[in-house]
Amino acid sequence: MNRQTLISSIFQKKSFLCVGLDTDPAKLPQPLRGHPDAVFEFNKQIIDATRDLCVAYKPNLAFYECRGADGWRDFERTVAYIGPEHFIIADAKRGDIGNTSRMYAQAFFEKTDCDAVTVAPYMGADSVSPFLGFPGKWVILLALTSNPGSADFQQAKLQQTGMPLWESVMQTAQTWGSPENLMFVVGATHAEAFARVRAIAPEHFLLVPGVGAQGGDLAAICRHGLTRDCGLLVNASRSILFASSGADFADAARAEAQKMQQEMAGLLPG
C-alpha cells in the first residue's frame, strides 16, 4: 500500500487506528478454549468486528512463531484474511547483516503480503536498506519505544552531540529512506517528545504503540504528532483483543475500537 492510499483510507474512515493482533492462546475467550482452530478463529472474529473502524492491523510475530509451524500458518492465514484493503504490519523487529535482512524481507514481502515490517536500527544502514528495496513496501524503524527499558539506551545522550540516541537514529535514518517508505515507532508513553519528533521528521508517518493497556493519552500525542496528512498510526492491542473473555468478545472488541475511532474522528485535521 502506498502513502496516498493509506492517507485516503484514514480520511475516508476518519480513523488512524491500528489493531494489534497479539493473539495469546492463554488469553483466548472461554468459548474458544478447545476449538481446533482457536487462534485463527479468534483473529477472524476480531477482524470482522473491526474492519470498518481501523486502517491497519499489526500481527505480532512472537505470538505466532512461539507455536512453530502451526503458528506460522495462522500468521499467513491471518494476513490473507485481512486482505489488501488494510495496511498490514508484520511486527517482527528484525534487522541483521545485509544478506540476512534480505531474507527476512522476502519472508514478509514476498511469501506473505505484508505492507510493512518493524526493524531494529542498531546494526545500521546496511541492515535496514535491504528492507527498503521492495517497491510499495515500508520499513517501520524503532526509534523511541513505549516500554520502560527505552531509557536504558534510546534516551541516553550521545557524548559528541548531547542529543538522545533516538534523535540521532531518526535524523540518520532519513538518509536511508523517505516519507514514502519509512516510518518510525514512537511510543505514546512519551507524549512530551512528540514536538521534538515532528521537528526532526515532519513528514514521516509514526507508528504509535502504548495507547490503551499501557496508558498512553491519544489527545496528548495528537497535539504535536498530527500532520496535515494525519501522519499517525495509533496501535491498540490488548485493550481491544481482550475487552471481554466471554462469548461477546467480538462485540466488546468492536465497542472498544469504535470508542477510539470516534475520538480519532474528532482529532483529525479538516
Asked if residue 212 has pLDDT above 80, the reply is no
Q: What is each CA distance from 103 to 15, 99, 106, 108, 185, in whole angstroms?
A: 33, 7, 5, 9, 22
pLDDT in tens, 233-255: 999 999 999 999 999 999 999 99
Confidence band for 179, pLDDT divided at 50, 70 and 90? very high
**φ/ψ (deg, to 5) at 208:** -115, 100
The distance of Cα 203 from the centroid of its chain, to the nearest Å, equals 17
Averaged pLDDT, 166-187: 95
Asked if residue 215 has pLDDT above 70, the reply is no
pLDDT in tens, 103-135: 999 999 999 999 999 999 999 999 999 999 999
Domains in the chain, number:
1
Task: Output the CA torsion sign for 111, 116, 118, 123.
Answer: positive
Note if 137 is an active site residue. no
Q: What is the pTM of this model?
A: 0.95
* Nearest Cα to Cα of residue 231 among 3, 57, 52: 3
Confidence band for 205, pLDDT divided at 50, 70 and 90? very high
3-state secondary structure of 207: strand
What domain range is 212 assigned to? 3-267
Confidence band for 214, pLDDT divided at 50, 70 and 90? low
Any bridge partners for residue 232, and if so which? 206
pLDDT in tens, 13-49: 999 999 999 999 999 999 998 899 999 999 999 999 9
Place of cell 538518509: 175
Q: Which three cell numbers stand for residue 176?
A: 536511508
Helices (H), the chain: 3-13, 38-50, 62-65, 68-82, 98-106, 125-128, 165-173, 194-200, 218-225, 238-241, 249-267
Average model confidence (pLDDT) across the chain: 94
Asked if residue 213 has pLDDT above 70, the reply is no
* Nearest Cα to Cα of residue 50 among 237, 263, 186, 267: 237
The share of the chain scoring above pLDDT 70, in percent, equals: 99
Q: Is 93 left (phi over 0), alpha (psi -120 to 50) or beta?
A: left
CATH of residue 157's domain is 3.20.20.70
Asked if residue 188 has pLDDT above 80, the reply is yes
Q: Which of 27, 44, 58, 93 is catalytic?
A: 93
